[in-house]
Structure 1
Amino acid sequence: MDEYYQFFVALFTLLVLLYLYYKLFPMIKWLYSNTINKININLPIPSPPKLPILGHLHYLGYLPHRSLWDLSKKHGPLMLLQLGSRPMLVVSSAEVAKEVLKIHDVSFADRPELDTVKRAFYHPKDVIISPYGEQWRKSRSIIVHQLLNTKKVKSFNSIIEEETTLLVEKLISCSSPSSPVNLTNMFESLGIDIIYRSTFGKKMGEIEHGKKVADMINEGVGLIVNFSIGEFIPWLAWINKLNGFGAAMERVLKTRNEILDTFIQEYLDDMEAASNSSRELLFAKDDKNEEFLIDTLVGIYRGGTPGVSIDLESVKALILNVLVAGAETASTTLEWAMTELIRYPTILKKLQDEIKQVLKGKRDINENDLEKMHYLKAVIKETLRYHPPIAMNLRECREDVNVMGYNIVKKTGVIINMWAIGRDSAYWDEPEVFLPERFLNSSIDFKGFDFHYIPFGAGRRICPGISFANEVIELVLANLVHKFNWALPDGAKGESLDVIEQPGITNGRKNPLIVIATKS
C-alpha cells in the first residue's frame, strides 16, 4: 500500500512540475537548457534522456543502487546524471573507482553539500559529511588515533563479549521449534547496546535520555533518506513548508541539541563534583577502570591530550557520528550473513565444521580461535561483497580535474556504486552467486586497496570504524553458528527466504529475518 501511495505522490508531483514548467515558468527552459549545455561542454559523458526540471531524478527509483546499476549497463561505468540542478557522476566499475578514490582522491575528497545533512551533523565539525580541509583532518585524526585506534578497539572486546553472551542466552531462553525469533530486532538491539556501552559505558535503556537519542537518530535518518526536493530544485524549497518536512527537521534538530547538551553538561558537572581520589562518572563504570569514548572526547576538550584540542560542538558532532554510523554497519552485515547461511545450508554446515575443528570441544570462542577461522572470514567478506552495508559512496569534486579523458568541473557530485562494483562480472566469477570460497587463499581485503571490493569505501574518506565493526561481526557470527542450529518457520526451505532490500542509508532487509534457533 505504501509503495502505491509513494507512486501516486511522485506522479502527482511530476504533473505539477510539468505544468509549472510549461505554463508558469517559460524562462526556465532557456535557463535550464543553457546550464546543461555548459555542463555538457565540460562533461561529454554518456547520459540517459532527461526530463525538464527533474533531469534524471526519476531514474533513481525505489532502490537507487539497483536502478543506477541497470542504467550503467546501457550507458557505461562512468555516466552523467542531472539530479534537478545538480550534475552527478555515477561510477560503476573498479577502473573508474580507482581514478576517483586513489589517483584523484584529493580532488574528490568532499561530500555533496546537502543543507539537510549539513545541519543534521553539526557541519563542519563532523567527519561524515564535512568538506575536506584542516577541520576535517583534525576531526578524522581524533576518530582514527584517539577513538578507534587498535588499542581502544581491543579495550572494548569485553563489552562485545558480554553483549554476545547476552544475545546467546536470550536465544537459548526462547529456542524452540514452535517459537520463531526476530533476528533483525535482536541484531539492532545488539548493535545499539554495544555502541552505547562503548560510548557512554551504559546501554541505551540504562541512560535517562537513551531512548530519545535512538528515536531522534531514526527520525533524522529517515528524513535524510527521503530528502528535500529543494536540495535538487532550489526554487521548489517552499514545498518543505507545506509537506511538513521543514517542521519535522527543525523538531529533530531541537531534540538533538537538547539531549546532547544535557548529556555533556551532566557529564562535565559530574566530573567537577567527583573528587580526584574517587572519580565517579555519570556514564562510566569505574569498577573496571574503563575509558569510554565520551571520556576520551571530554578529556581532549578539557585539554588532557597534548597537541589536540576541540570545542564543545565538535564533541557533540563526533559522538553523533559514532552513534549514527557505529550500530547499523555491524547489525546489517550480521543480518545478511545469517540470511545467506540459512539460504545455503551446505555453506552453514561447512562453517560449523570449521568452528568445531578449531575449538576442539571448547564451548567458548576467544580472539585466538577467531584468527584460525578462515572460512568464517571468507563468509563475512562474501557477505560484504554481496550485501555491502552502504550501497553507495558519495563524493564531490573540489576542483576541475580530468578523469578517464573527461573534464570534470568543480562541484560535480559523484555516486560510487559499491554494490554494483561488487557484482561486476569483469572482476568476479559468478557474481550473482553467494560463494565464500572465492575469498579462500585470496589476498583481497576490504581495507580500500582492491578497488573491485570496497564495501567500506576507499581513499581518505574510507570508513574509520572497519576494525570495530569486524570485531563485532566475527565474534557474534561465530557464536551463533557454533551454538545453534538454524531453520525457517513451518519447515520452509532455505531457498525460499527472501533477499528483498529496503531503501535507506544502510542496505538492509525489507522484511525482518524470522527464524527458528535450536541449541546445538
Structure 2
Amino acid sequence: MSELLYGKKLDYLYPARHNEINSFIRYLSQKAKDGKYVVLEGELMKLTSNVISRLSMSKRYDALMEMIIMEHEEARKQETREAKDLLNILLDISEDESMEIKLTRENIKALIRDILGAGTDTSAISVEWALAELINHPNIMKKAVEEIDQVVGKNRLVQESDIPDLPYLQAIVKESLRLHPTAPMILRLSTQDCTVGGYHIPSNTTTLVNVWSLGRDPTVWERPLEFMPERFEGKPLDVRGQHFNLLPFGSGRRICPGTSLGLLMIHVTLGAMIQCFEWKAGEHGNLARVDMEEGVGITLPRANPLICVPVVRLDPIPFQL
C-alpha cells in the first residue's frame, strides 16, 4: 500500500493526474470566455473523482498494482521479511483456505483503490478553502502568483515537479490545512493505559483527537485565527504527522494513506488555478469577500459553496508541459 501511495510508484501514475488537471483548466477557461460563474465545490469534486477513476481503471494502474503484488509475493517466500503491511495482510487472507469467502486478486486491487480514493477526495475541500482564503487576502494571492511566475514562467502550466521550488505556495497550503483540516476529529483507540495532560486514559478507551482545536491553539500559534502563510516560511513544520500541533492527516501508522497523493493534488490544482485565472467572488463577480462559515460533516465542508467567476490571466493558457 505504501509503495503505491508514495515515491517513484506514485510518480508512475503522473500522466493521469496531469491530463485531468489540464481538462479542468480547459473547462475553467471556457467558463471564463463565456463570462459565467463556477460552483467550485462540485467541479473540484469531479476533478478528484476523475483522477481516482483514471488511476484505478487504467492499464497503467492495473499494471502497477500487479507489479507491487508480485513483489510482495516474492518477498513472502523469504524468511527475512519485515513487519507486514496492508497488502501482505490481504495476501495472507487470500491464501487462507479456511475463509468462507475467498478474497481474489481483483478484490485486493479494488480495496486498495477504495482506500486510495478515500484519502484524496478531501483534497477538493482543501482547495476550495485555500482559494477562499486567497480571495479574502489579495495581497497573499498576489505574492503567490508572483512566485509562480518567477519559478514556472508563463509559457507552461505549473506541475508537480515545481512544488519543491514554490515554498510560499507550500506555506499557503499548510496554513489553510491548519485552519481548515478536512478531518477535524480523529478517532483512535488506546492500546494501553497512559496519561495525557494529567488525565488517566485506560486501555481500550475510544478517544477523539481534536485536530481543528490543535491548529487554533493560542498557546502554540501566534494570532491563531488569522490566515498568515508567513508563519511557515523558513520553518521545518510539516503536515505529515511529525509535528503534533499540526495533524491534518493524522500521524503514525494510522496516518491517512492518501496523504502524498492528496498533497500533490492540492498544490498543483491550486497553483494552476491562480496561475491561469483571477478569481472574482459571487455569481456576478462583484463580492469583495467570501464568507468562511463552516458546514456540518466529517470532512469539514464550507457551509456555502464557493461560487466565483474566473477571469483569464494567461492568454493563451499554456497547456503544454
TM category (shorter chain) comes to 0.7 to 0.9
Aligned residues with identical type, % of pairs: 32
Distance change >3 Å, CA 327–CA 402, structure 1 → 2? closer
Q: How does 1:289-300 map to 2 (within 5 A)?
A: 290-292=60-62, 296=65, 300=69
Secondary structure of 2:266's aligned partner: helix
2:150 alignment partner, one of 334, 357, 369: 357
How far does residue 165 in structure 1 lie from its aligned partner after superposition? 0.5
Preserved contact between residue 177 and residue 517 of structure 1 (Cα < 8 Å): no
Match of 2:164 in 1: 371
RMSD: 2.3
Q: Name the structure 1 match of 2:288.
A: 494
Based on CA coordinates, which of the two structures has the bigger radius of gyration?
A: 1
Structure 1: distance between partners of 2:68 and 2:145? 44
> Could you tell me which amino acid in structure 2 is paired with residue 192 of structure 1?
S
1:462-485: CA deviations, max 9, x gaps?
122211111111111111101111
Please give the alpha-carbon distance, in whole angstroms, between the structure 1 residues aligned to 2:154 and 2:114. Answer: 42
Q: Deviations over 1:209-244 (max 9, x none)?
A: xxxxxxxxxxxxxxxxxxxxxxxxxxxxxxxxxxxx
Q: Does 1:471 align with 2:264?
A: yes
Q: CA deviation at 1:298?
A: 9.4
SS at match of 1:498: coil
In the aligned structure 2, how far is the partner of 1:408 from the partner of 1:369? Answer: 45
| CA-CA distance at 1:328 after TM superposition | 1.9
1:440-455 equivalent positions in 2, closer than 5 A: 440-455=233-248
Q: Which residue of 2 aligns with 1:54?
A: none
Question: Which residue identity lines up with residue 112 of structure 2 in the other structure?
Answer: L
Displacement of 1:360:
3.4
Match of 1:168 in 2: 25
Residue 45 of structure 1 is matched in structure 2 by none
Deviations, residues 394-416 of structure 1 (Å, cap 9, x unaligned): 11122333334433222221110
Following TM superposition, by how much is the alpha carbon of 1:171 offset from its aligned partner in structure 2, in angstroms?
A: 0.6
Following TM superposition, by how much is the alpha carbon of 1:347 offset from its aligned partner in structure 2, in angstroms?
A: 1.1
Q: 1:171 to 1:361 in 2, by over 3 A?
A: closer
Higher relative helix content = 1
Q: Which amino acid aligns with 1:164?
A: I
Greater RCO (CA < 8 Å, at least 6 residues apart): 2
CA shift in 2, pair 1:494/1:297, >3 Å: farther
Distance 1:462 1:392 in 2: 13
Q: Is 1:144 the equivalent of 2:37?
A: no
CA change 1:403–1:345 in 2 (3 A) is closer
What is the TM-score when the length of structure 1 is the normalising length?
0.52
| Pair 1:501–1:440, CA change in 2 (3 A) | same
1:306 — aligned with what? Answer: 75
Query: In 1, are the aligned partners of 2:239 and 2:247 still within 8 Å (CA)?
Result: yes
Describe the shift of the 1:513–1:405 C-alpha distance in structure 2 as closer, same or farther (beyond 3 A). Answer: closer
* AA aligned opposite 2:65: T
2:318 matched to 1:318? no
Cα offset for 1:368?
3.8
Which aligned pairs between 1:422-437 and structure 2 lie closer than 5 A? 422-437=215-230
Check conservation: 2:278, 2:311, Cα contact below 8 A.
yes
Distance 2:125 2:51 in 1: 14
How many Å apart are 1:365 and its aligned residue? 2.3
The structural deviation recorded for 1:304 is 5.0
Q: Where do residues 268-307 of structure 1 align in structure 2 (5 Å cutoff)? A: 284=59, 290-292=60-62, 296=65, 300=69, 304-307=73-76
Q: How far off is 1:487 after superposition?
A: 0.6
Q: Aligned letter for 1:426? A: T
Summarize the Cα distance change of 1:298–1:152 in structure 2 as closer, same or farther, 3 Å threshold: closer
Q: Provide the rounded CA distance (Å) in 1 between the counterparts of 2:141 and 2:6.
A: 33
**8 Å Cα contact 1:328/1:506 also seen in 2:** no
Which residue number in structure 2 is paired with residue 33 of structure 1?
none
What are structure 2's unaligned runs of at least 5 residues?
Answer: 77-87, 95-102, 314-321
Which residue number corresponds to residue 481 of structure 1?
274
Read off the aligned partner of 2:120 and give its amino acid letter. Answer: A
Structure 2 equivalent of residue 132 of structure 1: none
Residue 11 (structure 2) aligns with? 154
Report the counterpart of residue 232 of structure 2 in structure 1. 439
Summarize the Cα distance change of 1:300–1:361 in structure 2 as closer, same or farther, 3 Å threshold. Answer: closer
Once residues 299 and 340 of structure 1 are traced to their aligned partners in structure 2, the CA distance between those partners, rounded to angstroms, is 40
- Structure 1 residue 318, shift from structure 2 partner: 3.1
Report the 3-state secondary structure (helix = DSSP H, G, I; strand = E; otherwise coil) of the residue aligned with 2:32. Answer: coil
Q: Secondary structure at the match of 2:311?
A: strand
CA distance in 1, matches of 2:13, 2:245: 31
- SS of 1:335's equivalent in the other structure is helix
Q: Deviations over 1:94-124 (max 9, x none)?
A: xxxxxxxxxxxxxxxxxxxxxxxxxxxxxxx
Query: Could you tell me whether the CA contact under 8 Å between 1:299 and 1:305 is conserved in 2?
Result: no
Residue of structure 1 in register with 2:100 after alignment: none
Structure 1 window deviating more from structure 2 (148-157 vs 381-390): it is 148-157
How far residue 301 of structure 1 moved from its aligned partner, in angstroms, is 8.6
The alpha carbon displacement at 1:302 in A equals: 11
Of 295, 306, 310, 1:517 maps to 310
**For 1:501 and 1:384, how far apart are their aligned partners in 2?**
14
CA contact (8 A) 1:182 1:514 kept: yes
Structure 1 runs not aligned, ≥5 long: 1-142, 202-283, 285-289
CA contact (8 A) 1:184 1:513 kept: yes
Q: How far, CA to CA, are the matches of 1:168 and 1:491 in structure 2?
A: 19
> Do the aligned partners of 2:160 and 2:264 also contact (CA within 8 Å) in 1?
no
- The one-letter code of the counterpart of 2:17 is I
Post-superposition CA distance 1:349-373 (Å, at most 9, x none): 1111111111234232234433211
1:459 aligned residue (214, 235, 252): 252
C-alpha deviation, 1:488, in angstroms: 1.4
- Distance in 2, Cα, partners of 1:305 & 1:167: 40
- Cα distance, 1:327 vs. partner? 3.5
